């Protein structure tokens, strides 16, 4: 008997620069071999670039290493790859709904079921630390 394929989770934020890379890392570390996780952004401005320096610092303070992250722009292929697509906020979810085909549309949802993960961009270090906590708290509901 073969083992089941890992659950494929795609996390998405605006630039794949702060929230979605951290969410992907948290989900991957907590989910272990039961999940395969990727992240992407709805804008391509940060594609190929490292995560935001303040997010790298906030993540490190919580025990996560974002230093190897490089931004990725969302594609229909990534939507097709995923079993579940988690948008960090309602704006990203709206953009994803416009991009998704009929097969991908049912996979879309918010990372936090009832609210947005706020974008810490331009905020103080405490805003980044708050996002780390929100992402950690929201992760278990997405894991098998």
Segment 107-125, tens digit of pLDDT: 999 999 999 999 999 999 9
Domain membership flag for residue 9: no
Residue 130 annotated among the catalytic residues of the structure: no
DSSP state of 140: G
Domain of 77 in residue numbering reads as: 15-142
DSSP state of 118: -
Q: Name the region of 96 (left: φ>0; alpha: ψ -120 to 50; beta: rest).
A: alpha
Domain membership flag for residue 10: no
Residue 119 annotated among the catalytic residues of the structure: yes
Round to the nearest angstrom and report the end-to-end CA distance of the chain.
20
Residue 141 annotated among the catalytic residues of the structure: no
State pLDDT tens for residues 22-35.
999 999 999 999 99
Domain membership flag for residue 2: no
- Structure tokens given for 38: 């990727």
Catalytic residue among 7, 8, 19, 76: 19
Q: Tell me, what CATH number does 101's domain have?
A: 3.40.50.2300
Domain membership flag for residue 121: yes
Q: What is the pTM for the complete model shown?
A: 0.96
Higher per-residue pLDDT: 12 or 113: 12
For 6, the 3-state DSSP assignment is: coil
Domain membership flag for residue 4: no
Total number of domains in the chain = 1
Domain membership flag for residue 3: no
- pLDDT value of residue 1: 44
Are 57 and 41 in contact, with CB atoms under 8 Å apart?
A: no
Task: Tell whether the model's pLDDT for residue 2 goes beyond 60.
Answer: no
Domain membership flag for residue 1: no
């Amino acid at each position: 008997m073969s083992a089941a394929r890992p659950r494929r989770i795609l996390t998405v934020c605006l630039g794949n620069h702060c929230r979605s890379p951290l969410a992907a890392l948290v989900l991957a570390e907590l989910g272990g071999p039961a999940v395969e996780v990727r992240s992407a952004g709805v804008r391509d401005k940060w594609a190929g670039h490292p995560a935001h320096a303040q997010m790298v610092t906030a993540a490190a303070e919580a025990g996560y290493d974002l230093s190897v992250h490089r931004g990725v722009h969302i594609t229909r292929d990534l939507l097709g790859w995923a079993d579940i697509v988690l948008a960090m906020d309602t704006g990203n979810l709206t953009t994803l709904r416009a991009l998704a085909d009929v097969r991908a549309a049912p996979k879309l949802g918010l990372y936090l079921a009832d609210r947005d993960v706020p974008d810490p961009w331009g905020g103080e270090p405490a805003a980044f630390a708050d996002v780390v906590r929100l992402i950690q708290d929201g992760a278990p509901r997405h894991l098998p």
